[in-house]
Every structure is written in C-alpha cells, then in structure tokens.
Amino acid sequence: MRYEGKLYRPPSEADAYIVQATIGCSWNHCTYCDMYRDKSFRVRDLAETLADLDAAGRAFGPRVEKVFVADGDALVLPMTHWRAILAKAGACFPNLRRVSCYAMAQNVTEKSAAELRELHDAGLTTLYIGPESGDDVTLRRIAKGANAAEHVVAARMAREAGMSLSVIALLGVAGDRSDEHARATARLVTDMDPAFFAALTVKVVPGTPLARLRSSGRFEVPPVPDLLRELRTMVDLARPTDALFRTNHASNHLPLGGRLPRDREPIVRAIDAAIEGRIRLRPEAVRGL
C-alpha cells in the first residue's frame, strides 16, 4: 500500500480502504483548492494499483467493506483500469459493500450511459461531486470547469446508472454573491437530487488563486452570520427527494445532520438559533480543511 503525497477522502469514507489509482486531479484549476497543487496529474500504473489491492486484501481481507478510489477525480480513469480495479477489489475483499470516488461533472458526461451502468454493476456505487455552487457566475469565477446545467446532466446520468450521488456545496466561496450562491445552490441540489448533500466552508489557503484574489481585494469570505444564512437558504429551499444532509466536515462552524426535506424545519431552527447566538459555534482555532 504505497501512497504518494497527501491523501483526501470524504468524512463518510473514514472507514474505507483507500487505493490511489490516480495521482492528483486531472483538472487542478479550482481557485480555492490546494489539495493536489503539488502533484502533476497522472494515471498510476495499473499493475501497481492492483498490487496494492492484493496487499490490502492479504492484510485486511474480510474487514474491508468500503473502498475509496483516490485521488481528486478518479472517475477520469479509463474503463480498462476501472474494470480491473473493481474486479480485483471484489476478489480481495469478500465483504465489500461499496466502492466510491470523487468525480467532476465532466468525468461523468465523458462516459457513456452503458459504461456508467457497467461501472455501477461492477461495484462503483457512489460518486462524490462538488459543484460547490449552483450559481453560474460563481462557477466561472472559481474555475469549476462546468456550469450548473452540466452538473444536472451529469447527476441524471449517474442516477440513471444506479449510482448514489453525494453533492458538496461550499459556503462562502461566492464572496459578494452570497445570496445568489445560496439560492442557486439550493436549486442545483434539487435538480441533481442526490442521496447525500454536504456543505463545507471555504478556507482561503495560501498559494491558491483565491488567496491572490483576496490579497488584491477582489475576494473576501463573508462574515460568519452570512455563512450561516447561506446554509439556512440552502436547507430551506432545496428539495431533493430524500437526501442525508451533513455539515460535519471540520471546516464548518455548525455541525448539523438530518434528512432533507424531511428535517428541514428543525435544521432551519437550529441555524436560526446559531445566527442569534443561542448555539455555540465551533471555535475558529479548531476548524480545519
């Protein structure tokens, strides 16, 4: 199990075995992201990836129920790699329940409906997609590489293939377009209709384009009450069919959870209480990325 550089995975994959089938992110342009800036993207040699799975199978075998395929947009892998990785994972881990990875909208739409169905049937059942915003102006500013409509198409293709989607929004990333960002993101969550919806909070990481924009006075993270209002608007207006909602990521000021839209009212009440200072927020010093 050899890993190159820092590894990232969603909080809900904390108990997954991580296999690094790609190094870095094939896009690597999002202005706020520094996760893979120190890596130049490449597809890892398939024999190495399969050897890692073999070694993990010998070490952990039946204890592994989840596999997360890294790095930043592993769905970009060609089908030949995916077929081999999914077959090997199934053979190495007899109790495997799901395989997941991060994906960009483009990674999904570049695959055919038949290929996505094949991946699902071979075990790739969950995709983590982070449009961050449903506001096209914001999506252009942050160089996300796809607009809201393209994210909706990608989500529909993935769902039609039987995959579960986890959609990630980023509070504060729109700067002065806070309200537009929140409303459009609620619409996007409705239209993407994920099984999981998570909100994270932007952090301006030194060395990123976003940090340069802030230094030149062209970007500022909204104050905390405005970040909470963004969250409130998203929760209040989003209407997925039935999504597990979480703000438990370390970057957030207010960890919350529930199902949307079922638990919308109690969650909105909790956010209101936080805005009014009746609920203690996570101290700045312990917030992380």
Of 34 and 52, which CB lies nearer to ligand SF4 in the complex structure? 34
Of 36 and 245, which CB lies nearer to ligand SF4 in the complex structure? 36
- The least distance separating ligand SF4 from the CB of residue 27, rounded to whole angstroms, comes to 5
From residue 245, how far is each of 67, 154, 157, 208, 254 by CA, in Å? Answer: 22, 20, 22, 29, 13
- The least distance separating ligand SF4 from the CB of residue 5, rounded to whole angstroms, comes to 12
Of 118 and 208, which CB lies nearer to ligand SF4 in the complex structure? 208
Of 84 and 143, which CB lies nearer to ligand SF4 in the complex structure? 143
- The least distance separating ligand SF4 from the CB of residue 37, rounded to whole angstroms, comes to 8
**88 DSSP assignment:** H
Q: How far apart are CA 137 and CA 91, in angstroms?
A: 45
Q: Please, are residues 219 and 210 in contact by the beta-carbon 8 Å criterion?
A: yes
Of 33 and 119, which CB lies nearer to ligand SF4 in the complex structure? 33
Residues that bind ligand SF4 (CB under 6 A): 25, 27-30, 33, 35-36, 72-73, 104, 130
- The least distance separating ligand SF4 from the CB of residue 201, rounded to whole angstroms, comes to 14
Tokens of 82: 């995916």
Q: How far apart are CA 8 and CA 282, in angstroms?
A: 22
- The least distance separating ligand SF4 from the CB of residue 143, rounded to whole angstroms, comes to 8
**Nearest Cα to Cα of residue 235 among 256, 214, 218, 216:** 256
